[in-house]
Amino acid sequence: VFALGMFLIDLAFFAVAGGCNVQVTPLMKDDAEVKDLKDKFDGAVANHPEIERKPEIMVLRHTFVHSPDEPEAWRPAAEAVSRYYRTFSSWAFGKKTPENGFLDPQPLETVAERPEFDVDSLHKSAMIGTPEEVTARLKNYEDMGYDEYSYWIDNSMTHEEKKASLQLFIDQVVPNFR
């Protein structure tokens, strides 16, 4: 973890020194990681006062917005994000060979010791919630100094579910930031 943290600091310094904008992706980690990544970016900016244009920073999160009328609608979204990460883990760490271009996700029992795969944990770490909940978290990101937010919808939910979520985001979240 320390080596990865140092790599991220070096990468932030390199990007900022080159005048590049930065995108961070905290993956399965919670908003403490979002804050830590912003702090690293701010440190890189502070150490490069010669850069005339302050680079911008964007945060990318798995996102699913659901109606407040469906209080348990977060669960299928968190399960889909868990499947996404377990499938990625099968490829990156399981060293399995895809069949017909696809891999099965690692079974839940193989990641039982890693709480970040748990649906309750992902409900809190991924951007999953009602329009009001998502707006509140995005306002927090805005207060941290993030310039942009990227809505990551790559998961195993159906096209219709993703479209409904995106429509709620457009209709009930975006207007809070105009």
Instruction: Show me where the domains of the chain are located.
Output: 63-178
Angle, CA 177 vertex, CA 176 and CA 178 arms, to 5° = 105
pLDDT of the residue at 3: 39
Tokens of 73: 């609608």
**For residues 140-168, average pLDDT:** 95
pLDDT digits (tens, 9 = 90+) for 21-65: 888 888 889 999 999 999 989 998 898 888 887 889 999 999 999
> How does pLDDT run across 80-136, given as a tens digit for each residue?
999 988 888 877 776 677 888 888 888 888 888 888 888 999 999 999 999 999 999
138: confidence class by pLDDT, cuts 50, 70, 90: very high
At 64, list the tokens.
Answer: 């699913």
Name the pTM for this structure: 0.86
Are residues 126 and 27 in contact, defined by beta-carbon separation less than 8 angstroms?
A: no
- DSSP, collapsed to helix, strand or coil, labels residue 105 as coil
